[in-house]
Amino acid sequence: MDLDMSINAPHSMGTTIIGVTYNGGVVLGADSRTSTGMYVANRASDKITQLTDNVYVCRSGSAADSQIVSDYVRYFLHQHTIQLGQPATVKVAANLIRLISYNNKNMLETGLIVGGWDKYEGGKIYGIPLGGTLIEQPFAIGGSGSSYLYGFFDQEWKEGMTKDEAEKLVVKAVSLAIARDGASGGVVRTVIINSEGVTRNFYPGDKLPLWHEELEPQNSLLDILNAPEPMNT
Sign of CA dihedral 130, 205, 190, 81: negative
- Give, in degrees to the nearest 5, the angle at Cα 73 between 70 and 76: 150
CA atoms within 13 A on the CB side of 127: 16
According to DSSP, the β-strands at 11-13 and 197-203 are unpaired
Is 7 among the domain residues?
Answer: no
Q: What is the pLDDT of residue 205?
A: 86
Is 11 among the domain residues?
Answer: no
Number of domains the chain is built from: 1
Is 61 among the domain residues?
Answer: yes
Question: What would the 3-class secondary structure string for the chain be?
Answer: CCHHHHHCCCEEECCCEEEEEECCEEEEEECCCEEECCEEEECCCCCEEECCCCEEEEEEEEHHHHHHHHHHHHHHHHHHHHHHCCCCCHHHHHHHHHHHHHHCCCCCCEEEEEEEEECCCEEEEEEECCCCCCEECCEEEECHHHHHCHHHHHHHCCCCCCHHHHHHHHHHHHHHHHHHCCCCCCCEEEEEEECCEEEEEEECHHHCCCCCCCCCCCCCHHHHHHCCCCCCC
Q: What is the pLDDT of residue 227?
A: 57
Is 75 among the domain residues?
Answer: yes
Is 5 among the domain residues?
Answer: no
Is 215 among the domain residues?
Answer: yes
Q: With contact defined as beta carbons under 8 Å apart, do 75 and 120 qualify?
A: no
pLDDT digits (tens, 9 = 90+) for 75-112: 999 999 999 999 999 999 999 999 999 999 999 999 99
Is 12 among the domain residues?
Answer: no
Side by side, which strands form the sheet with 25-30? 139-142, 17-22, 25-30, 188-194, 197-203
- Contacts of 168 by beta carbon, 8 Å cutoff, 6+ apart: none
Q: What is the pLDDT of residue 214?
A: 67
Amino acid at 170: V
Residue 98: domain span:
17-226
- CA of residue 85 relative to chain centroid, distance: 30
Q: What is the pLDDT of residue 33?
A: 93
Q: What is the pLDDT of residue 230?
A: 56
Active site residues: 15
Query: What CATH number is given to the structural domain containing 56?
Result: 3.60.20.10
Q: Could you tell me the pTM of the whole model?
A: 0.87
Q: In the chain, which residues have pLDDT < 50? A: 1
Is 175 among the domain residues?
Answer: yes
